Structure 1
Amino acid sequence: MSADAVGFALLILGLALLVGKMIRVRVGVVQSLFLPSSIVAGVLLLLLGPEVLGRFAGPWGENGVFTESMVTVWSSLPELLISVVFATMFLGHKLPTPQRALKLVGPQLSLGVSMASAQYVVGLLLAALVLVPLLAAPAMSGALIEIGFEGGHGTAAGMRPVFEELGYSEGADIAVGLATVGIVGGIVLGIILINWGVRTGRTELLTGSAAMSEDERKGVFAEGESNPAGEMTSRPSSIEPLTLHIALISAAILIGLGILEGLRWIEQQTYASVMLDDNTPLEIFAYVPLFPIALLGGVIVQVVATKTGLDHFIDGELMQRIQGWALDFLIVAAIGTLSLQAIGDNLGMFAILAIAGTVINLALFLLLAPRTIGRFWFERGIGDFGQSMGVTATGLVLMRIVDPEAESPAFEAFGYKQLVFEPFFGGGLVTALAVPIIFLTGVWPLFFTMLVVFLVAVLSGLLYFRPREMKDRREWEERRAAADPPPST
């Protein structure tokens, strides 16, 4: 593929974002739903692309109004841009003390692990009681909810060789279909939840569309309103500040890539020679994605800059703007290249797993988030709900809607959780090993293991983190009441 084709595909993404912004400014229902321009643009590309318009006969081809090279470029962007999003998460920000990190990560990790392990518990139970005996499905189908929902399209595609080696090649197709339903359902249900949260006072930062100005509903600033996007930390005669920050992000991602490749090399030199069966080697880091390690690379760059006294050259606001650019392009590309074909295959099993996964994610968000997280429980919990439905990017989308200026610790806590969470779930160790383990041992060993993990995560949140978190919430409510007493009658 030529560089011109890649560049033109990116130009069309930019144009789609501009159209999406115009729709946000002009259409009231889009404003009332807090839909970002990137989601609007992504839906527009989906409708005009191969999955919708391309399926109808007409003057356009099988790719709709686009070319095959455009769709190919767009489909590869989310995997690349998610590393940019995570590499920038801590760059330009003062790193927290270990005490603050532990305080934030505890309840967040409890909620995230509860949702991920519950997908195995529910999926494996359905496999044992319904899918295997009634639909003649392989026992490995019990892992599809977590692979498709928590893992997403990248994990589903990455697990395809494992499914093929174990004689269940259609499992990867079903997982891709579940990933599609997860992203769409996560965004739709997330928007519904956010609107419900705003109207019922459960969000702390969004206060309801009725109280918003017209500019806020449109997502624009008033003329003359000062909103700096960042500070000049380098003289342009030496290097443009934006160029400097992109270079630092590049270093962070390369450090993460080096760490991941090093771990994969060690794996290949040691336990990868152990065969789980005749054809499947014991590989862990082969299935670990780059983006959580890129986050670690960003932390390393920030630590080095702080220790050497160079951290003042990294501007947090500018890093957030770069992160926002990457996230906008990621969202448009991810939604615009959704695969709708897989949804029509294996419809019975697919519907059962999709409904079960959606219900358990929604129930755990509503039941656990307000009981394990104190302040900003909605802003923080909605990210885990989005991730459990449609991969990490969906969680970031929902957090950005409910906390557009990153005023809460939601992004910070979510990032800390990812460092511990991602090596295991959503494409990590547990995801990589689940299918071979089920193939070798059947449903029940992994079911009981995940049941124990689920119970430990839930009970630690309710019994250990809840008292401290509720105390923080009460103290904040008391301070707010004292600062804003009710009017006298």
Structure 2
Amino acid sequence: MSPEIIGFSLLLLGVLLLIAKLVRVKWKLTQRLFLPSSIIGGGIALLLGPDILGSLVGLTGADWAEPLAENGLFGADILEVWGALPGLLISVIFAGMFLGKRIPKPREAGRLAGPQVAFGFTLSAGQYVLGLLLAILVLGPVFGLPPLTGALIEIGFEGGHGTAGGLGNTFEEVGFPEGQDLALGMATIGLLTGIIAGIILINWGVRSGKSTQLRAGSSPSVSEQMGLVEKENRRAAATLTVHPSSVEPLALHFGVLAIAVLIGQLILWALQYLESWLWADQLELFAYVPLFPLAMIGGIILQLLIDRFDKREIVDRQMVERIQGFSLDMLVISALGSLSLQVIAANIVPFLLLTVLGVVWCISAFVLLAPRMLPDYWFERGIGDFGQSMGVTATGLILMRVADPELRTPAYPAFGYKQLLLEPFFGGGLVTAAAIPLIVQFGPYPMLVVMAILLVAAVLTGMLVFGRKRNRQATSDTAAQ
């Protein structure tokens, strides 16, 4: 693979992203669905790839069409580069998850985010329970698929494109490379369905009086739908904390992220060494664990050091988010552009079963459990968790912004604190990363039992502890009147 091909592959991603943004500005349907430009760009790359454009051109049978029929418009080398990018970029994204913001004390975070954590764990654990049951009862006996397909709902929905793309090597090492394509396809369906269903649920909440912040007739502005910021509302994308004459601020923050990733790599090497020395003959777990959840731990360790020693507050959270956002956009386009539709077509029935089951669970949990588990502003707080459980964190933020445009409820801070307790484990965290090797090593039943216990504990905690606070508050309000 030549450096020129690698560089040209990256440039093509930038061109696709720019074209996708123009599509978002001009095409009303993408505006109504709040589709991120990275998803649009990935869809364009997929359309021009071997599975769609290549197949259509191949039908002509002409000699000139043979190169296009085999590899699409971009060629095999570019698709190879794109296929390797998600596993690299996801570590950058997770390394910056907690960088640039103070790590709160457990009591501070738990007081506000406790109900949110219980509901978040309910959504995640339920995806594993239902997925594993489907794999044990249907996907394995009927379609001959391995038990690890039971983890695909959580990987694709809660984890999103980044996690699905980042687990590509893990799927290959356990002998099921098709799992990445299935997970990426589910991530796409989950994100689209999450936004569409979320907007429908918000409209339902407005009409039925469930929403406390919106009334009938309110809607996002035209600029918000186009993904643009009005001139009067524009603000700096980041803060300069160092003078560019000494070091470029973007380069400095990239260096900080690099240190976090390296800390995670050292932790992973240490765990793999201990495993090979102590018990690798009986069990291999860390040999299959990807880097990105440990890069997140590296970021947490580094942020604790920053909190202790960085008195000048050099690390700017917004700058870290810009690097994360760039990495995520590139990851999504490259992952979708290298997606194999043939794998999904070959497993279309299991794919649909997993997808429908995941969608039904997320919607049912929001409608039936969120009002009973979240003590106040359940609709605004729950819609964010619903969006995240079906897409990515950004989906949850979009839906919360629509449901609470003036940020008057505690939904945003509670959602943020919840990430500190949920994301180290689910949605690409340690549980998500370890689920595949654990299922391969021990079978699906231990994982099913553990997730079922967690599901029951989370539901009971939400309903009996936090839900009763809601009832007490309602009783006190009635007495006051």
* Deviation for aligned residue 1:411: 4.2
Corresponding residue of 1:335 = 336
Q: For 1:474 and 1:398, locate their aligned partners in 2 and report how far apart those are by CA, in whole Å.
A: 34
Corresponding residue of 1:452 = 453
Corresponding residue of 1:402 = 399
Asked if 1:228 corresponds to 2:236, the answer is: yes
* Deviation for aligned residue 1:113: 3.7
Q: Secondary structure at the match of 1:283?
A: coil
What is the CA RMSD across the aligned residues, in angstroms? 3.5
Change (3 A) 1:244 1:403: farther
Stretch of structure 1 that moved more, 400-409 or 28-37: 400-409
Q: For 1:413 and 1:327, locate their aligned partners in 2 and report how far apart those are by CA, in whole Å.
A: 21
Corresponding residue of 1:114 = 122
Q: Provide structure 2 residue ranges, at least 5 long, that are not aligned to the other structure.
A: 59-64
Contact 1:118/1:450 (<8 A) preserved? yes
Corresponding residue of 2:170 = 158
Q: Which amino acid aligns with 2:26?
A: R
Corresponding residue of 1:185 = 189
Corresponding residue of 2:302 = 301
Contact 2:115/2:466 (<8 A) preserved? yes
* Deviation for aligned residue 1:325: 1.5
Contact 2:16/2:45 (<8 A) preserved? yes
* Deviation for aligned residue 1:186: 0.5
Contact 2:243/2:249 (<8 A) preserved? yes
Corresponding residue of 1:270 = 278
Corresponding residue of 1:40 = 40
- Count, aligned residues: 452
* Correspondent of 1:427 among 419, 422, 433: 433
Q: Which amino acid aligns with 2:198?
A: I
Q: For 2:303 and 2:447, locate their aligned partners in 1 and report how far apart those are by CA, in whole Å.
A: 39
Asked if 1:137 corresponds to 2:144, the answer is: yes
Q: For 1:91 and 1:191, locate their aligned partners in 2 and report how far apart those are by CA, in whole Å.
A: 28
Contact 2:54/2:71 (<8 A) preserved? yes
Q: Which amino acid aligns with 2:44?
A: L
Q: For 2:286 and 2:224, locate their aligned partners in 1 and report how far apart those are by CA, in whole Å.
A: 44
Change (3 A) 1:417 1:4: same
Corresponding residue of 2:61 = none
* Correspondent of 2:99 among 91, 94, 101: 91
Q: Secondary structure at the match of 2:343?
A: helix
Contact 1:257/1:294 (<8 A) preserved? yes
Q: For 2:362 and 2:119, locate their aligned partners in 1 and report how far apart those are by CA, in whole Å.
A: 10
* Within-5 A mapping of 1:235-254: 235-254=243-262
Q: For 1:474 and 1:155, locate their aligned partners in 2 and report how far apart those are by CA, in whole Å.
A: 49
Change (3 A) 1:218 1:108: same
Stretch of structure 1 that moved more, 264-273 or 408-417: 408-417
Q: Secondary structure at the match of 1:52?
A: helix
* Deviation for aligned residue 1:424: 4.8
Change (3 A) 1:14 1:139: closer
Corresponding residue of 2:363 = 362
So what's the TM-score if we normalise by structure 2?
0.81
Corresponding residue of 1:484 = none
Q: For 2:70 and 2:105, locate their aligned partners in 1 and report how far apart those are by CA, in whole Å.
A: 54
Change (3 A) 1:143 1:212: closer
* Deviation for aligned residue 1:18: 0.9
* Correspondent of 2:200 among 196, 203, 206: 196
* Within-5 A mapping of 1:310-325: 310-325=311-326
Stretch of structure 1 that moved more, 458-467 or 21-30: 458-467
* Deviation for aligned residue 1:330: 1.9
* Within-5 A mapping of 1:17-32: 17-32=17-32
* Deviation for aligned residue 1:310: 3.9
Q: Secondary structure at the match of 2:7?
A: helix
Q: Secondary structure at the match of 2:324?
A: helix
Stretch of structure 1 that moved more, 231-240 or 307-316: 307-316
So what's the TM-score if we normalise by structure 1?
0.80
Q: Secondary structure at the match of 1:312?
A: coil
Q: Secondary structure at the match of 1:313?
A: coil
Change (3 A) 1:224 1:273: same
Contact 2:99/2:303 (<8 A) preserved? yes
Q: For 1:114 and 1:241, locate their aligned partners in 2 and report how far apart those are by CA, in whole Å.
A: 40
Percent identity (aligned): 37
Stretch of structure 1 that moved more, 410-419 or 336-345: 410-419
